[in-house]
Amino acid sequence: MADRTLVQAIRDALLEEMDRDVRVCVLGQDVGLKGGVFKATEGLQPRFGPDRVLDTPLAESSIAAVAQGLALEGYRPVAEMQFADYIFPAFNQIVNEIAKVRYRSNGDFSCPLVIRAPTGGGVRGALYHSQSVEAYFCHVPGLKVVLPSTPADAKGLLKAAIRDPDPVIFLEPKKLYRAARGPVADGEGALLPLGKAAVVKEGATVSAITYGYLRAVTQEAAVRLEAEGISVEVIDLRTLRPWDQSACLQSLEKTGRVAVIYEANRTGGFGAEVAAELAERGFAHLDAPVTRVASPDVPAMPFSAALEHAFMLNTDKVAAALRRLAEY
C-alpha cells in the first residue's frame, strides 16, 4: 500500500499490466520520450522499449485505428488521446468500427482495447481542453465507459479495463491528476470490477449520485449538510456504462430523494439517463422529483477564471441543491 496521486496510480497500473502481460502496449502522441502531456506514461518507454510504447503522429483517428488493428491481432493496446476534447476526429472509428466488432462478427471477434483521455474542467483549459464527453460514448452499445475519482479507483479500474475483452473508454478527471492523493494497493490487490458503484458515505435523507471530480465536491457538501441535520448518502458510479443501477435504486428506496450530480452540460448529459432510469424504476419510492445538478448549457468552458468558476459546480452549489431537495 503506497500513497499515490491519481496520475501516479494510472502510471502504476500501466506498468504493472505491461509487466504482467507482454501483449499490453501503449500508443499515442508524446507518450514515449515525453511521457505524455500529463506524465502518465513517464518512464514506460525506457523500461519496455519503443515497440511497446509507441509515439504516434497527431492524428486521433489513426491512433484509434492502429489500436483496433493491434487488438484484432491479439494485443492489448492502451491508446492515449491527449485531451478528451481531441477525441472527436476518432469518433467514427470508435463508434462505427471499434464498438461494433463483437456484434458484426456474431461474437467471433472481440476488440480488447482501452482509450484513455483526460476529461473535465477546472484547470483554465478553456474551450478545447475542458469538455466532458462521457455522454457521447455512454450512448453507444459495445463500449464500456469508466470515469474514476480517486487514485485507488483509477488504478484498480484501469487494470480491469486493460483485461476486459471489449473496448473501454477510460476518462480521467484532469483536475484531480495531482490534487487527489490516497493509499493505493499493489498488484492484484488493487484490481476492481467494472460496473460496481461505491457507497462513499451512507445517509438517510437524500441520495446523491455522482462521479469523477464531483465525488469530492459532493462529499464536502454532504459533510456541511450533516451539521444541518440533513443526512446525505453519496454514491460514486465509477463505471458509467454499465452503471450500477441496483446500488442506486437501493439508495433511492432508503431515502426517497435523489439528486444526480455531474460536471457536463445539463441537457443530454449522462446524469439525465441516470435520472430517467431512477424515475422510471423507482417511482413508487420517490418523495420528491429526481433532481439533476449539472453545468449550464453554454457552448464551452470560458477561459476567464471568474467565468470558469461560474460555469463549474462547487460545494456551495451542490449543497444548495441538496438542501432544496431535502426540504421539498
pLDDT tens string 215-243: 999 999 999 999 999 999 999 999 999 99
- Dist CA 281 CA 274 (whole Å): 11
Select which of 129, 139, 285, 309 is catalytic: 129
Query: For residue 125, what pLDDT is reported?
Result: 78
Mean pLDDT within 305-322 = 95
Fold of 198-327: Rossmann fold (3.40.50)
Among the residues of 164-213, which ranges form H helices?
none
- Dist CA 145 CA 34 (whole Å): 27
Instruction: Examine the pLDDT at 117 and tell me if it is beyond 90.
Output: yes
Peptide bond just before 242 cis, omega within 30 deg: yes
CA 116, distance to chain mean position in Å, is 10
Are 145 and 138 in contact by the 8 Å Cβ rule? The answer is yes
CA 88, distance to chain mean position in Å, is 17
Helix (H) or strand (E) holding 317: helix 315-327
Report phi then psi at 161, rounded to 5: -65, -40
Asked if 129 is an active-site residue, the reply is yes
Q: In CATH, what number does 2-190 get?
A: 3.40.50.970
Confidence of residue 314 (pLDDT cuts 50, 70, 90): very high
Mean pLDDT within 142-147 = 98
Cell of 321: 441543491
Question: By mean pLDDT, which of 20-24, 68-72, 143-147, 301-305 is the weakest?
Answer: 301-305
SS3 (DSSP) at 293: strand
Burial-class residue 229 by CB neighbours within 10 Å (0-12, 13-18, 19+): exposed
Instruction: Examine the pLDDT at 127 and tell me if it is beyond 90.
Output: no
One fold for 2-190 and 198-327: yes
- Dist CA 263 CA 28 (whole Å): 26
Instruction: Examine the pLDDT at 322 and tell me if it is beyond 90.
Output: yes
Extents of the domains making up the chain: 2-190, 198-327
